[in-house]
């Protein structure tokens, strides 16, 4: 199983969007992908058409002692996803995080129980802040994607975010530049600095700023359904291809 | 012969042409944005520190 954790250098980096569209991109390439929401924001589900008021998800299931995989859904476009859900109160989230802290391999064990094909891709949308939920995903992941936006603060936080992820058990980190607009001078310059300073860890696919992404979310669809000819669809197809190639290459190297 | 091959053929600098070109672009980028320059100087200071520690 190929677990991929998606985290950001800062809030608003587009982590949930990248996680959702990467899963949709993998499915568009006939790969089996599951999008897994580990963020109490509970926003990943909205990219897959789930009703705004539906509060079903991982956290309420675990809190009520029900099998958490009963919270799995399938989107119209064929992406399996597990929403975080909305527990009855904040205390439930705190208790959930606390219980996870005592079981560092909880997520890895639960994923193993699903008995999915080895070539399944599990994309984890991680919370903005460090904590037990995020650590679980990082420890289970073969690859951690760090979403960087083309601005000074995101560039400044890139290295410390990667170091923190590695300290929490991430095996391999890679930066992906999101929201890039080639017409903006600062975007070009931050991209240049990322290429210069983090060359070996920078995904060779840039995710461009594209209005189709916001419109797709507002339309309760993935961008692959909403705007199949858009720049964003092209970019996320390329990112999905890179992820598949990167992980299979690393698998072959390990086997050899 | 392209410029990259020409450079590696003629230059005594061990670094690759693209690497030098990227470094040059990075210097120009930081010259335009004071905060990026400060951040990059700090990052490079951290890298130097790590090398000394190692």
- Residues 5-34 in B contacting A (C-alpha not used; CB under 8 Å): 22-23, 25-26, 29-30, 32-33
Q: Does B41 touch chain A (CB under 8 A)?
A: no
- pLDDT at residue A76 above 80? yes
Q: Is A95 exposed, middle or buried (0-12, 13-18, 19+ CB in 10 A)?
A: middle
Tell whether the model's pLDDT for residue A256 goes beyond 60.
Answer: no
Instruction: Parse chain B into domains and list their residue ranges.
Output: 3-53
What per-residue confidence (pLDDT) applies to A85? 92
DSSP per position, B2-50: -HHHHHHHH----S-HHHHHHHHHHHHHHHH-HHHHHHHHHHHHHHHHH
Q: Considering only A84-88, A202-206, A248-252, which range has the smallest mean pLDDT?
A: A248-252
Give the pLDDT score at A61: 85
Q: For residue range B6-52, what is the model confidence (pLDDT) as tens digits?
A: 555 555 555 566 677 778 889 999 999 999 999 999 888 766 666 66
pLDDT value at position B47?
Answer: 67
A52 touches chain B (CB under 8 A): no
Higher pLDDT, A223 or B16: A223
Would you say residue A200 has pLDDT above 90? no
Higher pLDDT, A255 or A93: A93
pLDDT of residue A114: 76
Is the domain covering A2-255 a CATH 3.40.50.300 domain? yes
pLDDT at site A12: 87
Interface of A with B in 144-203 (CB under 8 A): 152, 155-156, 159, 185-186, 188-190, 192-193, 195-197, 199
What value does the mean pLDDT take over residues A194-205?
Answer: 92
Is residue A27 within 8 A of residue A33, CB to CB? The reply is yes
pLDDT of amino acid A14 = 95
Chain B: closest CA distance from residue A14 (Å): 21
Q: What is the pLDDT of residues A125-145, one digit of tens each?
A: 998 888 888 888 999 999 999
- Which backbone phi and psi does A94 adopt, to 5 degrees? -60, -45
Identity of the residue in B30, B32, B39 whose CB atom sits nearest the CB atom of A156: B39
Comparing CB atoms, the residue among A189, A195, A196 nearest residue B33 is A189
- Contact (CB<8Å) A196/B33: no
> Is the minimum CB–CB distance between A112 and chain B shorter than 8 Å?
no
pLDDT tens sequence across A160-192: 999 999 998 899 999 999 999 999 999 999 999
Quick check: helix, strand or coil at residue A28? Answer: helix
């Amino acid at each position: 199983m190929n677990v991929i954790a998606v985290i950001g250098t800062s809030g608003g980096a587009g982590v949930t969007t990248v996680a959702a569209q990467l899963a949709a991109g993998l499915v568009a390439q006939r790969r089996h992908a599951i999008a897994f929401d580990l963020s109490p924001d509970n926003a990943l589900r909205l990219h897959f058409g789930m009703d705004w008021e539906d509060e079903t998800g991982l956290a309420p299931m675990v809190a009520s002692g029900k099998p958490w995989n009963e919270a799995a859904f399938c989107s119209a476009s064929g992406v399996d996803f597990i929403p975080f859900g909305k527990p009855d109160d904040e205390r439930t989230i705190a208790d959930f995080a606390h219980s996870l802290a005592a079981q560092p391999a909880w997520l890895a064990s639960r994923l193993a129980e699903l008995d999915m094909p080895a070539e399944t891709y599990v994309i984890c949308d991680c919370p903005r802040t460090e904590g037990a939920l995020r650590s679980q995903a990082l420890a289970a992941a073969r690859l951690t994607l760090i979403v960087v936006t083309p601005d000074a603060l995101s560039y400044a936080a890139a290295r410390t975010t990667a170091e923190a992820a590695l300290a929490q058990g991430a095996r391999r980190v890679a930066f992906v530049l999101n929201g890039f607009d080639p017409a903006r001078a600062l975007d070009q310059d931050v991209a240049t600095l990322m290429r210069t300073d983090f060359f070996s860890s920078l995904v060779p696919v840039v995710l461009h700023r594209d209005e189709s992404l916001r419109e797709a979310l507002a339309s309760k669809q993935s961008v692959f359904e909403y705007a199949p000819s858009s720049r964003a669809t092209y970019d996320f197809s390329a990112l999905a291809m890179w992820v598949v190639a990167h992980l299979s290459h690393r698998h072959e190297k390990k086997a050899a | 012969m392209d410029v990259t091959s020409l450079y590696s053929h003629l230059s005594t600098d061990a670094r690759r042409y693209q690497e030098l070109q990227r470094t040059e672009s990075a210097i120009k980028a930081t010259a335009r944005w004071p905060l990026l320059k400060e951040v990059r100087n700090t990052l490079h200071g951290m890298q130097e520190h790590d090398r000394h520690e190692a």
